[in-house]
Amino acid sequence: MKKILSLLSILPLFLIAQSLPPGAGHLNVKDFGAKGDGITDDTAAIRKAVASVFEKGRYATPTFIYFPEGTYVVSGPIESKAEEFGWSGGWRAGMILWGESQDKTIIKLSDRNPAYGDPSNSNYVIATGSESDKRTKPGDKPLSGGGNRAFRHGIYHLTVDVGTGNPGAVGIDYVCSNRGSIEYVTIRSSDPQQAGAVGLQMTRNWPGPALIKNVAIEGFDYGITTSHAQYSMTFENIQLKGQHKAGVKDFYAQALFFRKLHSINQVPVFVLPNERNSLVLIDSVLEGGAPNAVAIEGKAIKYLRNVKIQGYGSTLSGVPNAPAANTLIQEYAYPAAIQNGSATMQPLPIEESPIFWSTDPEDFALVTDFGAAPGGEGDDAPGIQAAIDSGKPIVILPNGSYRISTPIILRGNVRLFMGTQSSIGPLDGDKSKVTIEVGAGTQSVNVEHLWIDGRVVHNSSRAAAFRHVDMNQGYENTAQGTGDVFFEDTIGKPIRILHPQRAFGRQVNCEFGDNPLIENHGGNLWLFGYKTEGQMPVLKNIGGKVELLGGFFYPLRAVNPNTPMIINEGGQMRLNYAMNGGKHNYPIQLQSASGKTLSPKEIGGRGPALLIDIP
């Protein structure tokens, strides 16, 4: 057990090598002919591996594509495509690339590649895409892959290197919908002069919501580019270094939420020309600067807190009362903060999501070794529970669909309950019988890369983290469920904190229904990146504390004039959010138990920069 990694603070970018155990149900690119020797052109082999994934389920159970340590040379794009033409132009949802380690698994573009030589006509190395209803045939203009059906794309634990002599190279062109992540990834250029166009590009329709976390971008003209008024993107623990034009540039009105950004640059860190942009930036350092440069350009709606800026001639452009240069910004809002009530609530403490892994093969239990069989006709609950009760700290559900008739209880020594993007559903079709219960244990437990066609119940004092998970029937805690809970890159509703508890959400997606999507009864709820869709209340706070940093609320259709967006009854709230309803906005944005309401006109603009303490 000495080789176990357990981190409560995600500070280093490089996580321990995450090699998947044999039998986990993943595809290995070397089985498709990839060499990873730094010499052989592995483009065709990797494309073959990617295309093979889409022969199976790509929504609930897209298969991990695994890259062992090595350098995989490519000469052309790696795209989430099943074919070159046909339905959706070949684009598919659910491409998950999983490297063995961030620093030793490298996808490298061949040097001086003619297809990447023109910065005015850039070309990507890796691209995810959205499915559409269009069909194409040879001779048709290729589809871009933009859209809002780019579900569950993930890129993990690897480096993308655009090589040398490729000024038109884009490292990753990412579009993702509702759930997906790039995590523990380095995107770099090996050429300090012809550094490449963009490290991480998100300018096709429609980026997000998705989570970008523990990512380093080195070089390029732009580190990150975004566009579009919908949806939102959440970033945490990001390093930007050595960009030529800007660290982050938006071309329209993207909602961007950053925590723990560390930029070392001479050029502006943010260029946000549209006043409809929404930027949240907290717990960050922007250093390097130049005396004639501004750290953050543009009139975007901004909320900054605990941001240290060094070396720049000025901090913000185009806004009144900008903080002085070379200073620590304790808290700043533009437009000025709207305050209601006594404004006594302080920011909530922030905890990092627990992380757990092991390099010891003896620490893993596969549920298939205990009788569970993905895709079978029988009840998989006994086999899954037996694996949990085996005493192993890591329980793996190999890729596929599992069916259960009784609750699964996470208890004892289990620290990580993980699918290689697997699903758990009802044996008899009754989703109410599918329950994943957080039971007794002495240490935290993680649930990762699963589609749970049921609900999650927190019934103990142990902390639990749900990362890259669908919870189709939502989450709730019992009176015994007092342990901290973490939601990170999740889909599912309702989230119901029914008893006092600390909850932390990062990139949480909830959609549709009649009742509030999230309820907080007496708990402390911290949300960083929260996107909704539909015409119901998005948040109800009853006697608790809520801090929302970066919400994105999208009604889609006309809202009942009596339906408030956010409800507060006897609690305190600090809120920062953007809206994209257009003519279909919430007539009542905030409502308190006393009957006090705030309308869009009273708040103004796309959303408030900050709203404190609603009585």
Tell me the C-alpha distance between 485 and 609, whole Å.
27
Q: How far is CA 169 from CA 30, 77, 504, 507, in A?
A: 25, 10, 37, 28
Looking at the fold, whether 37 and 166 belong to one and the same domain comes out as yes
Dihedral sign for Cα atoms in the order 142, 148, 154, 158: positive
Decide which of 579 and 538 is more confident. Answer: 538
Tokens of 170: 């884009």
Task: Tally the domains of the chain.
Answer: 2
Do residue 120 and residue 260 come from a single domain? Answer: yes
Whether 195 maps to a domain, the answer reads yes
Q: Does residue 320 fall inside a structural domain? A: yes
Edge-to-edge order in the sheet of strand 564-569: 408-410, 435-438, 455-458, 475-477, 495-497, 518-521, 539-542, 564-569, 588-592, 597-598
Do both 91 and 210 map to the same domain? Answer: yes
C-alpha torsion angle, residues 97, 101, 103, 105 (rounded to 10): -50
167 near 119, Cβ under 8 Å?
yes
| Other residues' Cβ atoms within 10 Å of the Cβ of residue 142 | 12
What is the pLDDT at residue 319?
84
How far is residue 538's CA from residue 103's CA, in Å, rounded to a whole number? 40
Residue 614, pLDDT above cutoff 60: no
**Is 60 exceeded by the pLDDT of residue 136?**
yes
pLDDT, tens digit (0-9, with 9 covering 90-100), for 389-400: 999 999 999 999
Establish if 190 belongs to a structural domain.
yes
The predicted pLDDT at position 579 comes to 81
Please report the sign of the dihedral spanned by the C-alpha atoms of residue 342, residue 282, residue 352, residue 418: positive
Q: Are residues 254 and 296 in the same domain?
A: no
pLDDT at 121 over 90: yes
**Backbone φ, ψ for residue 602 (5° rounding):** -70, -30
The per-residue b/e assignment along 228-245, b for 16 or more CB within 10 angstroms, e otherwise, is bbbbbbbbbbbbbbbbbb
What's the pLDDT tens digit per position in 457-513? 999 999 999 999 999 999 999 999 999 999 999 999 999 999 999 999 999 999 999
State whether 261 and 289 are in the same domain. no
- Per-residue model confidence as pLDDT tens digits over 306-323: 999 999 999 999 888 899
- Longest CA span, the chain: 70
Q: What is the pTM of this model?
A: 0.96
- C-alpha span between 552 and 149 (Å, rounded): 18
pLDDT mean over 266-270? 98
Cα separation, 260 vs 333, in Å, equals 18
Residue entry with tokens 């973490």? 486
556 half-sphere exposure, CB direction, 13 A CA radius: 10
Q: Are 438 and 460 in contact (CB under 8 A)?
A: yes
Return the pLDDT at 611.
60
Of the three residues 250, 265, 280, the one that is the final residue of a domain is: 265
Residue located via tokens 């305050």: 339
Structure tokens at 311: 């070396």
Task: Give the tens place of pLDDT for each residue, 479-495.
Answer: 999 999 999 999 999 99
Please check whether residues 221 and 302 belong to one and the same domain: no
pLDDT for the residue 599 = 66
90/51 Cα distance (integer angstroms)? 9
251 and 293 inside one domain: no
Is 110 contained in some domain?
Answer: yes
149, 104 contact by CB (below 8 A):
no
Q: Which two tokens stand for residue 276?
A: 């409809």
Q: Which of 265, 283, 301 is the last residue of a domain?
A: 265
Are 522 and 544 contacting, i.e. CB atoms less than 8 angstroms apart?
A: yes
Are residues 313 and 201 part of one domain?
no
- Average pLDDT taken over every residue of the chain: 92
pLDDT value at residue 604: 52
Q: Does pLDDT of 440 surpass 70?
A: yes
How far apart are alpha carbons 162 and 119 in whole angstroms?
13
In a domain, 314, yes or no: yes
Asked if 181 contacts 214 with a C-beta cutoff of 8 angstroms, the reply is no
**Which of 284, 299, 334 is the endpoint of a domain?**
334
Whole-Å CA distances, 503 to 132, 483, 519, 570, 610: 36, 9, 11, 19, 21
DSSP structure string for 112-135: T-GGG--GGG-EEEEE-----S-E
Please give the average per-residue pLDDT across 154-176, as a whole number.
Answer: 98
Q: Tell me what the mean pLDDT of segment 396-414 comes to.
A: 97
Residues 68 and 197 in one domain: yes
Do residues 76 and 197 both lie within one domain? yes
Same domain, 322 and 249: no
The label of the residue with tokens 């509702």 reads 178
pLDDT over threshold 90, residue 284: yes
406 within a domain of the structure (yes/no): no
- Whether residue 376 is contained in a domain is answered as no
Partner residues linked to 233 by β-bridges: 210, 256
Contact present, 35 and 118 (Cβ < 8 Å): no
Domain hosting residue 37, numbered range: 28-265
Same domain for 280 and 165: no
3-class DSSP state of 540 = strand
Least confident of 95-99, 251-255, 338-342, 417-421: 338-342
Q: Is the pLDDT of residue 6 over 50?
A: no
Query: Mapping DSSP to helix (H, G, I), strand (E, B) and coil, where does residue 81 land?
Result: strand
**207 part of a folded domain:** yes
Any idea what the CATH number is for the domain that residue 83 is in?
2.160.20.10
How many CB atoms lie under 10 A from the CB of residue 369?
15
